[in-house]
Structure 1
Amino acid sequence: MSKWVRAHTNIALIKYWGKENEALIIPKNNSLSLTLDAFYTDTKVTFDPSLKKDELILDGEKQASGVLNKVVTVLDLIREKAGITDRAHVESINYVPTAAGLASSASGLAALAGAANEAASLNLSPKDLSRLARRGSGSASRSVFGGFVEWEKGTTDEDSFASPVDDANWDIGMLFIIVKQAQKDVSSRDGMRRTVETSPFYDGWLATLDQDLSDMKEAIEEQDIEKVGAIAERNALKMHATTLGANPPFTYWTADSMVAMDAVRTLRKQGFTAYFTMDAGPNVKVICRQSQMAEIKLKLAEYFDEEQIISAKPGPAIHLLEN
């Protein structure tokens, strides 16, 4: 039955960067993220026997066939599980700038998995929904859940899925500094592949991740936001360092990204709890206390326009919408 499903973006604090298996999207390391309320995707899937091929209407516009690849991957898996052959009409509204390093694929593919599950009446468990979303986009496996979420890398399609760690119902939030909304030059998928294949720094990055993950989970359990922020900031910088060693080298940073990072360091010197993280894009996310968010936003407005700074609190798991 066709129903609207909403999934929220998540931002990784321990990054996923590199695949062990490209076809199944099995990562080289576990990752850990925080689902956030500010950005999300609403999607509805309708299986229609009259359709000759799958179609995607994104933000009111019909998408070209090249954009459909990840969508069709998820739909084909649903059709196989449900024993149906009908093509699908997919309607999606993205409350996230696409391909700007703001996790639009995470919310988008998670919402698709949830909506296709509803349309086919499969009643998949959250674990199996996470596995399904992963096949469209790795980070989408984490957007099935709210709060802090760990994606267990696994070794097969069966055991690579995400699960909740903590509901994040404490004094933690995130500010997004949107320095650029344009589509990035190097996609996450291409950037990962190039880094894994050519960067001499990549093995060093992998060697440090188990300790980062262990330390992060301990910090979350203690609700120690300074520790959470410090680990996340260093983990992000290590990930971005691997791209500078790739051949050819590349970076997702812009001059404004560096201004934002320096602004966060200045905030710390002024006594605020503020740490940055960045994904495969130029935009900077600031991990901070919810109780300080309004004041930090005012401080950041000295560097950026107010509309470039978006507040986010921990967000919910994937869910059906009433209308």
Structure 2
Amino acid sequence: MKATAQAGANIAFVKYWGALDAELHLPLNNSISLTLDQATTLVTVEFSPHVGEDVGEDVIELEGRRAEGRLRERVVRFLDHLRRLSGSRDRARVASQSTFPVATGLASSASLFAGMAVAGLAALGLALEPREVSTIARLGSGSAARSVFGGWVEWVAGGRHEDSYAYPLKPADWWPVRDVIVIVSQEPKEMPSLAGHAAARTSPCFAGRLASTSEHLALARTAILTRDLEALGTVAEAEALLLHAVSMTTDPPALYWLPATVAVMRQVWAWRREGVPAYFTLDAGPNVHVLTTPEDTPRVATGLCAIDGVQRTIVCQPGGPPVLGDVHLF
């Protein structure tokens, strides 16, 4: 059977960086994010004994290219978990197509594995509760646990597979914040997030960042519940800078920023001095998210596009959970 799902990437305000268990993608702290409506991945999954008959293996094509190396191994491990759940021995075919640059620090693995979880379970005829789907998606990518839900989401760290899951804090229509994604590079980042997580503990900044997360989580929850953009933006910026302080000081170090990254951050600070409600955050990559109000979005998006090195912007609203559809990629 074949199924297709569309899932949104998410942007974390309180970050996940460094793992308790790298194999199960168990984090060391809770995290909070927003699922996005215009940064999405469409994933088609089919399980059939006829798939890959000529090569005797799963057929995996991501973003129009045959998956190879570690990426292929990661997807196959995820498919193996789905097969164990269902008792299936069929080979799988997987295809994906995203609306934004992948492997550039924009949570493409979150939307990929959330979509793959929803589509794969549907293709196998398995109907599970969202919490369990979240734990399954996490096995592909930690942040995928959050993309199983729409809107404002918290991922519980837990200490075991069953206890590490995401849940919705508020739905997508709770608060019409805008997230302007600023694309300054479409090239895959030099250090993938999995390698960054593995190196995180070598940073002298790691313990300090981790110690701040409880306070930041409380502040972010309150900001979301009270729709306080200044409070949420302040936490989001602090978390972003702390994450990159860690990544820059690991062994080996990872400097994700480009000159345009810094220029965007400086412009956001300049706008705030002028009274424009704009706040930045970014995950492990050079591309930046700028949070603002619906009313200020046109000015912010236009101004960001005028910065040297900015290639384009994607204006996002809060998005919903993954949805199944009948338009397949193969």
What is the letter of the counterpart of residue 182 of structure 1? E
What is the letter of the counterpart of residue 45 of structure 1? V
Deviation for aligned residue 1:54? 1.0
Q: 1:56 aligns with which of 60, 64, 69?
A: 60
The reply to whether residue 43 of structure 1 matches residue 43 of structure 2 is yes
Is 1:173–1:289's contact at 8 Å kept on the other side of the alignment? yes
Q: 2:200 aligns with which of 195, 201, 204?
A: 195
Q: 1:173: which partner in 2?
A: 178
What is the letter of the counterpart of residue 252 of structure 1? Y
Unaligned segments of structure 1, at least 5 residues:
none
Is 2:151–2:170's contact at 8 Å kept on the other side of the alignment? yes
Is 2:7–2:147's contact at 8 Å kept on the other side of the alignment? yes
Q: How many residues were matched structurally?
A: 322
Q: 1:215 aligns with which of 193, 212, 219?
A: 219
Deviation for aligned residue 1:43? 1.0
- Structure 1 distance, partners of 2:302, 2:110, is 29
- Structure 1 distance, partners of 2:78, 2:160, is 17
What secondary structure does 1:101 align onto? Answer: coil
- Structure 1 distance, partners of 2:306, 2:88, is 56
What secondary structure does 1:153 align onto? Answer: coil
Deviation for aligned residue 1:124? 1.5
Deviation for aligned residue 1:300? 2.0
Q: 1:103: which partner in 2?
A: 107
Is 2:199–2:250's contact at 8 Å kept on the other side of the alignment? yes
Residue-by-residue CA offset, 1:175-218 (whole Å, 9 max, x unaligned): 0111111011111111121122x111101111110110011001
Residue-by-residue CA offset, 1:88-112 (whole Å, 9 max, x unaligned): 0112212221111111101011111
Deviation for aligned residue 1:134? 0.2
Deviation for aligned residue 1:245? 2.2
Deviation for aligned residue 1:65? 4.8
What is the letter of the counterpart of residue 202 of structure 1? F
Is 1:130–1:142's contact at 8 Å kept on the other side of the alignment? yes
Q: 2:282: which partner in 1?
A: 278
What secondary structure does 2:147 align onto? Answer: coil
- Structure 1 distance, partners of 2:210, 2:275, is 33
- Structure 1 distance, partners of 2:210, 2:72, is 32
TM-score, structure 2 as length reference:
0.94
Q: 2:28: which partner in 1?
A: 28
Aligned pairs for 1:1-323 within 5 A: 1-50=1-50, 51=52, 52-169=56-173, 170-196=175-201, 198-304=202-308, 308-323=312-327
Q: Runs of at least 4 residues of structure 1 off by over 4 A?
A: 304-307
Cα 1:25/1:305, change in 2 over 3 Å: closer
Residue-by-residue CA offset, 1:115-139 (whole Å, 9 max, x unaligned): 1101111111111111111000001
Percent sequence identity over matched residues? 39
- Structure 1 distance, partners of 2:303, 2:89, is 55
Residue-by-residue CA offset, 1:18-45 (whole Å, 9 max, x unaligned): 1000111100110000001111111111
Further displaced range: 100-109 or 169-178: 169-178
- Structure 1 distance, partners of 2:299, 2:99, is 25
What secondary structure does 1:132 align onto? Answer: helix
What secondary structure does 1:291 align onto? Answer: coil
What secondary structure does 1:12 align onto? Answer: strand
Deviation for aligned residue 1:262? 0.2
Deviation for aligned residue 1:301? 2.9
Further displaced range: 85-94 or 5-14: 85-94
- Structure 1 distance, partners of 2:170, 2:59, is 37
Deviation for aligned residue 1:86? 0.8
Cα 1:251/1:267, change in 2 over 3 Å: same
Residue-by-residue CA offset, 1:131-153 (whole Å, 9 max, x unaligned): 11100000111111111100000
Cα 1:66/1:240, change in 2 over 3 Å: closer
Is 1:70–1:137's contact at 8 Å kept on the other side of the alignment? no
- Structure 1 distance, partners of 2:154, 2:63, is 30
Is 1:290–1:313's contact at 8 Å kept on the other side of the alignment? no
- Structure 2 distance, partners of 1:39, 1:126, is 21
Is 1:40–1:94's contact at 8 Å kept on the other side of the alignment? yes
